Structure 1
Amino acid sequence: MSDKTEQGSDHIDRLRGQWQRELPELDTSPMAVIGRARRITLRLRPGIEAVFARHGLDAGEFDVISTLRRAGAPWRLTPTELYRTLMISSGGLTARLNRLEAAGLIRRHEAEEDKRSLLVELTEAGHAKAEAAFREDMELEKRLLAGLSQREQDELAVLLRKLALSLEDNGAGAS
């Protein structure tokens, strides 16, 4: 069954209609945003992850090397800076770093100014891989957004930023 009917409604419209029939007093308008955002994420994820896989990476590994790449020269950060940026546990980061180091995409070494501190640095191979994967990802994402005009994309980006900031300000998230 297609996500669109002849009236232009989508899966979320159908769900809301079913809930309206079953619980007519309940406001299901949040589903119009949150439900669609979730479905969009679930639909987009496999294609984006396939881009990373073509570069020999999973999404978490890409997150690490892209964070290092966009940090700018000399493309190095402390593990603490990395896991705070990526919002993952230090244990989760360690596992990713181990895989990336084994693949020759990063190296870890002591900081010159503080021998107790460790630095994670992108290798030349990691630099090239991060950039190539990111370029391909942006090409894919541009194609995925082709159903919206540039103006619509800009408007949606403004609204999504507003929602993201509101959620951050309110400490919203998992409960």
Structure 2
Amino acid sequence: MIEEQKSAFQSRVERINARAEEASKGTSRRSGDTIWHRLSYPISFIGAFLLGVGAVFLSRYIQFQMIGVPGDPKAGSQDLISIVLAMAAIFLISFLLNGRQKEFARTSALAMMATTFTFHNAVWAYPDSFEQVYGPDWVEMVKNQTEPSSIRLFSIVIAFN
């Protein structure tokens, strides 16, 4: 009985040593572990950021189609409505991700807030394109309220030039 136990123990030690030798020979690559698979996680942050930017552009377009050019542009209501719509989109994204990858929802939220307060810079850079989508009156209203290369926090414009 003792000989059987010794041989069983010895065979177990040999198996463990054999596995250790196999592991030390080199790391085995997992199947599907390609450069694209490894880059998919960081690239998804870019996608989440673009999703946030697109949500603000879409919310501004929907606002324009619903109410046209705001009557009192100094009230900052357009920014407030954009923030509310952005928050709704954040909750929707978090709900769809089931709370699993909240860093993507945070990235989208950051993009939405940044786009909300710097949207007018795109209007200054590409006024003809925005006139085709929103109309010349809306573009003129945005240009009257803001300056190029600035941040607009509700009705306060902070210029950087």
Tell whether the structures are fold-level matches, with TM greater than 0.5: no
Give TM-score scaled by structure 2 length: 0.26
Give TM-score scaled by structure 1 length: 0.24
Is the radius of gyration larger for structure 1 or structure 2? 2
